[in-house]
Amino acid sequence: MVLYDITISIYRKDGYMSGKPRLLDIYVSKEEQYDKLSRRINRYRHTIKYNESNYNASNYHINVYDKNALYYKYLLKYFCPKKKVISIDLFFASSDYKNTNPLVLGINHENEDPVYYTYTFLIYDTAPKLLYNADFSNLPNPSESFKEEDLITRLMVEHDLYLRRNKGDRMVIMLNTKTSNEDKITYPKTGGSKNRITVSKCQNSGSEYFDKYEHKIEPKYCPSTFYLCYDKNTLFVVHGKNFKDLICADVYYNKYYGIEPIILVLKSKDVNKLYKYSELKKDFINSNKNKNTNELEDFKENDVINKLKEENDKINPDVTYLIDKKTNYSYKVNVEERNENDLNGFTKYCHTPESSYTTVKSLILFGNNKLVKKTISGKYEEIKEIQELTYSYIEVFFGSKNDSIPLIIKLNKSESNNQYYVHNKDDSFYWEEWNFQSIVDNREILKKLKETESNLFDSISLLVDFDKEYNKNDVESKTGFKPTESQPETIKVSENSSLECLNKLNYKCYEHSLLYKTESDLSDIENLKLKLFISNGNYKYGEITLYNTDDPSDFNKEYIYYKNKKTDNNYKDNFYVFFYCGNNKEKGDPRPVLFCYQNKVYRPLNLEEYSKKWVCVKGVDFKSDFCTIPNLSETLKEVSYFLNPVNIDETTDRIIGNYKITNRYTTHNFNNSTSVQITIKPEDLNCYRKYTHSTTSGYILGEIAHNRGKLFESYEQYTKSLSNSGTVKFPDNVFVYYYLYDKGHNYPLLVGLKFPGIHTNYFKLSSKDKPLKWVRIDDSQEWQLASKNIEKLLHNIRYNLGIEYENKKDNLIIESADKCNERSNVGIIAGVISTIVLIAGGVAGAAYKFPEFFRSIYSRIN
């Protein structure tokens, strides 16, 4: 059962209800005016307001009703349309005040171009047109239907028939019909003048700054009277003296800017007539008057350049600067490249007004639109303050990645008066003023160019520390930013387990597969920026800033862009991330050590800014065959070294919050579930205390530091200072010794590094001045002491350095000094004193030479 039998009444000008057994609202809207200048045509749109959210074709019949029709009142019956009919358009002559005689009827389907029929076809037939269960592909009499491109032509035929002006056979010259250099097209596609006009674009336009389109008419159909049409507006032209038949109409446009034509040249066999478009627009308004060719100026081909410039200056009086152009685009402006060696691939072009236009006001355009800015409220507005001014020249800087997009413009009113504007993008492109004063070199300009170029491109966001597949939602939830349309739906992450060289070093590598599917031009793909995010210690992720050197200045910022390997319409490349895993590949350190893209390797700048700043590693060129990369293994270990510091000034007597922590300290908070911690195990000797620093499986013990001092100045010194041969490894634990009265743990007397499978490396304190320094014990006697009589070695280190302690109970770092075996040496020490007295000339002399030694003796005697 049909629920809605809808009748569209052609004479209605206001909304109404229609349908049986159920009613629907029909909303009627009038377009004022369909042809805004010539005002010949009115259009009424009858929009059907459907009740159901889901369209069901069998529920609807749509009928078009004309109460004044001669034969059948229902001009069109459209039963169960497969394509949902949104509205019916009815076109009338402006003089048809009561809407009694439609000229054309249009059917608007959902998500389809409209299709049209003339009223003549619908009414002067022996039966109503019946469409049953139809769509575009099977409308009746396809030869009688037509599309939007022929609408004006067919409207004017019906219009003339309605007014009985002629037989409805006047040609319509569609001035806005264009084609490319290679193609020729014909129009109209339907009707009595079908394919009788051919349009082509001519290279010899008369000037390099203008385009000419020829509308040639088939010779045997050249008309003496015709319509000129532009943007739906029409004017009827009749021939005058010497101008008999129109054989061709040449339409000239500005090649680079402006939409409307500049001039028209109407050609006949004997004479050519010039019609300025500015005059034609005025005549459109007076379309009730015909235009006689006698009123037009005679035209000679050799006058075309002067006429074009003359009329163009009237239509476009300003000096128009097209800042996205790199070659000349106007006879008013000269464009030339200014080569500068220190722009690092960026380019600069200078737009200078020609001498006769230096005092003329300017119009600055990008993409044929005025430049816009973004207001505080987020709205986009034209930058009015830069327009309608005179400039001595304008400089435009272009990118090194996409050299078609201007990045920065410099507006020069005079040598000492200039402004900079920077291109920017969020949800749309806009420009913002940059307060910058020119300096001799281009360092600041270059820095701004790199930053601007990066901001303009779409991006692919990567979660660098992920070791499993992630999608757009993961990126948004982690970063807090909505991914761009260029972001792949998913990024697959997989371990490359075939790298034996990495396995031996206890490292592993994960590949982020960047598969990008697109129909876009290749240049668009190459301009995708990679944005890298990593955990910043909480649930959220922060963006990593890259630098091309170890100097993290703004000038050295670096941006990386998507490189592709094309297969069909897929673009694929891999991003590699390295982790330290120790002996347990299932666990290990979750912090990336290095990441690599294309031929570059990047590492963290330091531990403190791990989640913010990474730098390019010089001297390491990345290859897909990792095991052949020189210095890769050393770079991996060097980064692991500084990412895992051992703070030997840390002790077990520590307070964190309300809890007393007695056996561990944190060196790095990476993410919500990972804190890198080191365990301290204290051990009391007789006169000293030993602290052993160790870590959990999957982590290492790296750079050893005490306050501001370091055991080794660099990783290179670390590797040279180790006594073991072969591959450099990291110690299983680090131990350090302090004297029993060193409450501030100011002097680590001896540091030991215990490596797996080899003997311990010892480093003794060599200077008590800050920063402290240590040297490796190479002397065999000292090494024997370290192995068999550690306290004697520690005593000798203290003695030789003359380190002073305040030996009182409050300063003890061990439970008691009672077991300190140095007390039992008092007699021996006294004997030593006697000898020293004889040699040095008395106790006073000895005390002067060995103050710390005597203070120690004195404290023990008391």
Give dist(CA 32, CA 46) in Å, integer: 15
Q: Residue 136 has what pLDDT?
A: 41
Beta bridge partners of 595: 577, 602
The candidate with the shortest Cα–Cα distance to 780, out of 798, 765, 799, 759, is 759
Q: Residue 522 has what pLDDT?
A: 46
Whole-Å CA distances, 353 to 320, 357, 359, 362, 782: 9, 6, 9, 10, 84
DSSP 568: T
Beta bridge partners of 575: 512, 597
Cβ–Cβ under 8 Å, residues 717 and 728? no
557, two tokens: 């910022």
Cβ–Cβ under 8 Å, residues 658 and 668? no
Sign of the CA dihedral with 324 first, then 327, 331, and 336 last: positive
Give dist(CA 194, CA 347) in Å, integer: 51
The candidate with the shortest Cα–Cα distance to 781, out of 792, 773, 770, is 792
Cβ–Cβ under 8 Å, residues 69 and 11? no
Give dist(CA 783, CA 794) in Å, integer: 12
The candidate with the shortest Cα–Cα distance to 251, out of 233, 235, 263, is 263
Q: Residue 141 has what pLDDT?
A: 62
Radius of gyration of the chain (CA): 44
Give dist(CA 734, CA 753) in Å, integer: 5
Cβ–Cβ under 8 Å, residues 566 and 518? no
In terms of Cβ atoms closer than 10 Å to its own Cβ (0-12, 13-18, 19+), residue 387 is middle
Q: Report which residue type is found at 783.
A: W
Q: Which long-range contacts (CB under 8 A, 24 or more apart) does 842-846 make?
A: none
Give dist(CA 457, CA 252) in Å, integer: 36
Q: Give the distance from CA 737 to its chain's centroid.
A: 55
Q: Residue 588 has what pLDDT?
A: 86
Instruction: Give the number of C-alpha atoms closer than 13 A to the C-alpha of residue 418, restricted to the C-beta side.
Output: 19
Beta bridge partners of 675: 669
Give dist(CA 200, CA 216) in Å, integer: 8
Q: Residue 825 has what pLDDT?
A: 43
Give dist(CA 399, CA 453) in Å, integer: 6
Whole-Å CA distances, 770 to 657, 706, 746, 774: 31, 10, 10, 12
DSSP 483: P
Category of 39 on φ-ψ map: left (φ > 0), alpha (ψ -120 to 50) or beta: left
Q: Residue 733 has what pLDDT?
A: 93
The residue ranges of the chain whose pLDDT is under 50 are 126, 132-138, 520-523, 567-570, 823-862
Query: How many other β-carbons are positioned within 10 Å of the β-carbon of residue 827?
Result: 8
DSSP 692: E
Beta strands 380-382 and 291-292 are unpaired
Cβ–Cβ under 8 Å, residues 369 and 327? no
Q: Residue 265 has what pLDDT?
A: 96
